[in-house]
Homo-oligomer: A and B are copies of this chain.
Amino acid sequence: MSERNRTVPRVGMVGGGQLSRMTHQAAIALGVDFSVLAADPADSAALVCGSVTLGDDRGLEDVLAFTKAQDVVTFDHEHVPEDVLRAVEEAGGLLRPGRAPLRFAQDKLSMRTRLAELDAPAPRWRAVSEPGHVEEFARETGWPVVIKASRGGYDGKGVWVVGDGSEARAVVERAAAEGVPLLVEEKVAFRRELAVQVARSPHGQVAVYPVVETVQRGGVCHEVIAPAPGLSEDKALRAQQLAIEIARALDVTGMLAVELFETEDGVVVNELAMRPHNSGHWTIEGARTSQFEQHLRAVLNLPLGSPRTNAPFTVMANLLGGEDPEVYRRYLHVMAQDPEVKVHFYGKEVRPGRKIGHVTVTGEDHRDLLRRARAAADHLRGDDQ
């Protein structure tokens, strides 16, 4: 395409997961030349994208070679090591977001330090290098506290809620043995969890979406209600302003997702992600501009699209794998039952608990939408049988 329309840019996305898959859908409409760097031909995006480079999506050699073939490179995950990002930028690769902002999404200690400098509301926290640090901290905040791996983690885990000194000691000693840096945070007494998406372009233009409620179970996002029902205008504005301030201060380009806790009197920042995010999937049907199109517009330095909603409420429910791998045959019932449910299947092998898709419903009454989205997700998983 680039040869025929020389001004059409080549955008590459590192990582072949569902975020790349859905960005590919948006890239088709924009007519930009979109490629993914995927580790495996069975990766979600690699199954459908016309231009796939197979390679190590965290390794210097393959990321560098991929970047050289693109005008701009972005990411569907935060797992490219900082030294790889640095080498790619030094070689002239245009990364959006760049290495400097990505560090704050990759390293929770850096993120907490930077947010503290910005006076952004946050849980109390401190760095942990020995078990005693957790106990000192808990004397101020009370137990339980939340220990987090600053980057990485072990046994596939990066967050531990610990109830006393001996539990804390076990986590800290194991992490020390694995070389995993830790921090401890107070366990925030929150009403509910929120998230807000903001896009920022290199020009500095920003577009912020309505604040959403995220319903988590066992540390996994199950549903998103957009906008968050009954959220006060004060808190909603505060959350949106925070997202904009953070995007600016950290020089984010592309989508930034800010995960928040709603407390009695405000909001506090929980996590950041610098890419399209699960809490923004509702925008595909629910907003004029989906987060995937918006991410592309932002990293391409195009004017941003309108984040206006298409309906009073949109509810998204994640589709988690169940015991039965044959999800498709359940479409028959789900689609017959509710012709307005939109199914997004990621083409991934079904494993229990794995995010293999999502469903979205738009309408007026968020309780009704939540019930319908849950019914569809439960049925697709096979939980209602």
Contact = CB atoms under 8 A, between A and B. Distances in A.
Interface stretch (A78-86, A216-224, A337-345): A337-345
Contact of A303 (B21, B311, B335): B335
Interface of A, helix, strand, loop or mixed by DSSP: loop
Q: Copy number in this complex?
A: 2
Nearest to A50: B48
A47 B47 contact: no
Given A311-B310, A340-B308, A347 B1 contact: yes
Contacts of A310: 310-311, 362
A100 interface: no
A382 interface: no
Nearest to A336: B303
Interface stretch (A22-30, A114-122, A251-259): A22-30
Interface in A53-68: none
Interface residues of A, number: 58
Interface in A24-45: 24-25, 27-32, 34, 42
A357 interface: yes
Given A339-B306, A345-B30, A5 B332 contact: no
A191 interface: no
A376 to B, nearest CB: 12
A350 interface: yes
Contacts of A357: 31
A46 B347 CA distance: 20
A339 B305 contact: yes
Interface string A318-358: 00000001111101100110011011111101100000010
Contacts of A306: 339-340
Given A326-B7, A328-B8, A343-B29, A1 B47 contact: yes
Given A5-B326, A29-B344, A31-B345, 6 more contacts: A4-B42, A9-B328, A29-B342, A302-B331, A304-B339, A306-B339
